[in-house]
């Protein structure tokens, strides 16, 4: 027998995103439940006393852990007739969320959407349990100033990023050091050339942070690396099969472009086609790739075709997450899974 619940959706700083927040939350919770609980959950948007909630119908006792892992939940209630009884959600964050929310700059990917995309990708992989316990390793191959990396850090995952723009990585490196000092968190921080065979192949940020001194002594922390490099060279920077998921917001212009020589590739589809072999080299068997993109400049069908040509299985239901960003951007996403790995 299923129990009835209501999820109060977290507020969004973006009015445009807020307009779709409840709809996206319902789709997200259905997706996460399928991945983590291996069970379907009925989720629909309802209005109670003038306030929007996501109504859930589920039989699993583990539902609270899935709700807590979502990007959208502000509070969970059990529905008892006309009354709502608060249900405590397990703590999911390993570190303060201001590591994600403090940076403000033009072109930053929405914080909640980044969390959503990461969660969907982990849940689709062969290791969905990482969604509720952390300890995975996330690669953002077009990382910019590190929104995905910081989201992973907040949730207790190690993270690796690659971007061609040195200024973005330097800015992110400085922010992480300041953030850790502000919170008085034990940490190590290095930004230096990475050499292979006596040749500089990239500039590398290597940052590790710990909850306290005891955790530092035990080596129990989160590591963030970021490379100033071509994303198509990912296999030269990382060990084969060393990341659990790959998550990225594909560029809408030149900023994150893959380059050969002095040229930058402005087209996200060509970027993916060129870099995908390297990305798949570093992705574990059973790992998943989650990519968001502007559907006004890149058709989902074209991106899906490239992913399938590489041997990936494109997950169903991705179309539910499309939403307006502004007049020139309608953001959509695709999640694709590499075969292999225990499930």
**Count of C-beta atoms within a 10 Å radius of residue 191:** 18
Cα–Cα distance measured from residue 175 to residue 161, given in angstroms and rounded to the nearest whole number: 15
Domain ranges in the chain with CATH number 3.40.50.150: 98-337
Look at residue 21 and tell me whether its pLDDT is greater than 70: yes
Mean pLDDT of 122-135: 97
Token pair for residue 75?
Answer: 């509070």
Mean pLDDT of 283-294: 98
* Cα dihedral 342→133→57→23 (10° resolution): -100
pLDDT score of 255: 42
Among 200, 65, 49, 43, residue whose Cα is nearest residue 123: 65
The residue ranking higher by pLDDT, 60 or 285, is 285
- Least confident residue range of 8-22, 136-150, 171-185, 303-317: 8-22
* Cα dihedral 138→142→145→150 (10° resolution): -10
Look at residue 256 and tell me whether its pLDDT is greater than 50: no
Fold annotation for 98-337: Rossmann fold (3.40.50)
pLDDT score of 59: 82
Options 3.30.200, 3.30.70, 3.40.120, 2.60.40; CATH of 3-87: 3.30.70
Average pLDDT, the chain: 94
What pTM was computed for the model?
Answer: 0.95
Phi/psi of residue 183, nearest 5 degrees: -90, 0
Mean pLDDT of 154-161: 99
Q: pLDDT class for 254, splitting at 50, 70, 90?
A: very low
Look at residue 229 and tell me whether its pLDDT is greater than 60: yes
pLDDT score of 185: 99
pLDDT score of 163: 97
pLDDT score of 263: 39
Look at residue 113 and tell me whether its pLDDT is greater than 60: yes
- Least confident residue range of 57-61, 205-209, 242-246: 57-61
pLDDT score of 282: 99
Look at residue 130 and tell me whether its pLDDT is greater than 80: yes
Cα–Cα distance measured from residue 60 to residue 262, given in angstroms and rounded to the nearest whole number: 54
Domain ranges in the chain with CATH number 3.30.70: 3-87
* Burial degree of 225 (CB within 10 A; 0-12, 13-18, 19+): buried
Mean pLDDT of 11-38: 94
């Amino acid at each position: 027998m299923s129990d009835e619940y209501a999820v109060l959706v977290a507020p969004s700083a973006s009015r445009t995103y807020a307009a779709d927040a409840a709809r996206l939350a319902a789709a997200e919770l259905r997706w996460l439940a399928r991945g983590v609980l291996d069970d379907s959950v009925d989720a629909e948007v309802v209005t109670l006393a003038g306030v929007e909630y996501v109504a859930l119908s589920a039989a699993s006792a583990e539902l609270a852990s899935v709700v807590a892992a979502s990007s959208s939940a502000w509070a969970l209630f059990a529905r008892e007739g006309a009354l709502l009884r608060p249900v405590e959600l397990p703590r999911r964050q390993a570190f303060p969320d201001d590591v994600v929310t403090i940076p403000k700059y033009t072109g930053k990917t929405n914080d909640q959407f980044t969390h959503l995309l990461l969660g969907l990708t982990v849940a689709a992989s062969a290791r969905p349990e990482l969604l509720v316990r952390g300890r995975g390793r996330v690669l953002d191959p077009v990382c910019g100033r590190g929104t995905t990396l910081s989201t992973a850090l907040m949730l207790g995952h190690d993270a690796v990023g690659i971007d061609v723009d040195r200024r973005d990585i330097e800015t992110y490196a400085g922010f992480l050091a300041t953030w850790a000092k502000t919170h008085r968190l034990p940490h190590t921080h290095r930004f230096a050339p990475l050499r292979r065979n006596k040749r500089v192949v990239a500039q590398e940020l290597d940052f590790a942070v710990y909850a306290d001194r005891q955790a530092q002594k035990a080596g129990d922390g989160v590591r963030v690396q970021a490379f100033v490099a071509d994303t198509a060279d990912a296999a030269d920077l990382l060990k084969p099969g060393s990341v659990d998921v790959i998550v990225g917001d594909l560029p809408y212009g030149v900023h994150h472009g893959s380059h050969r020589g002095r040229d930058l590739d402005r087209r996200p589809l060509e970027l993916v086609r060129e870099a995908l072999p390297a990305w798949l080299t570093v992705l574990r068997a059973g790992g998943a790739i989650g990519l968001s993109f502007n559907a006004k400049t890149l058709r989902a069908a074209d991106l899906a075709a490239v992913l399938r040509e590489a041997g990936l299985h494109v997950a169903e239901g991705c179309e539910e997450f499309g939403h307006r960003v502004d007049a020139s951007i309608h953001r959509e996403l695709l999640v694709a899974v590499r075969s292999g790995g225990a499930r």
